[in-house]
Amino acid sequence: MTIAKRVEQFWKIIDQVFFWLSVLTLGGMTVLIFIQVLFRYALNSPLAWTEELARFLFIWMTFTAGVVAARRGQHIRIELMVNMLPSVGRKAIGIFAHLVTTVFFGIISYYCISLWDRLSAQHSPALTIPMSFVYLGIVLGSVFVGLYYFCSAISLCLPQKKGGAQNDRFAFY
């Protein structure tokens, strides 16, 4: 098995894991918000923990869905000027954009990890769980988005295959 096939196999597994994490967090948020509305308006006795947990699940969903969106090429980008460039220019801009994105998510990961001790000591008010649990979603999402864009930049640097598009899974430009 070639390295490219192993990398693609790895990303397919990661896709599935992050897709289902996104589905579960969205479903959990929906149920929690429904319970919150029910208790607040029907029973006139709001629950503090449902709002807090829904907020934490939203953070997790944002970063897990970010991995899925990166893999599907669904992150927002402005293509007007890029599409006017010749093929070499589009490729260079694509590599540059992917490397800048990699650095950005690397910085997010670095600072979340560097604050880990403080986050572990701080607990949420209603659930009393360590805030490091909440930030774990940010770290995981940032690491995998950054890793994906790094792999994508490398893929764009590789020579084209004969008779086909260059590494279609990574070529967004």
Give the total number of structural domains in the chain. Answer: 1
What secondary structure letter does DSSP report for 128? -
Asked if 135 and 112 touch (Cβ cutoff 8 Å), the reply is: yes
Residue 118 lies in a domain: yes
- Structure tokens of 154? 């490398």
Q: Which structural domain range is residue 103 located in?
A: 3-157
Residue 80 lies in a domain: yes
Is residue 56 within a helix (H) or strand (E), and if so which, with residue range? helix 48-71
Q: What is the mean pLDDT of residues 71-91?
A: 86
Among candidate residues 164, 146, 165, the one with its CA nearest the CA of residue 75: 146
Residue 142 lies in a domain: yes
Write down the pTM of the prediction: 0.84
Per residue in 107-155, pLDDT (tens digit) is 999 999 999 999 999 999 999 999 999 999 999 999 999 999 999 999 8
Per residue in 6-16, pLDDT (tens digit) is 888 988 999 99
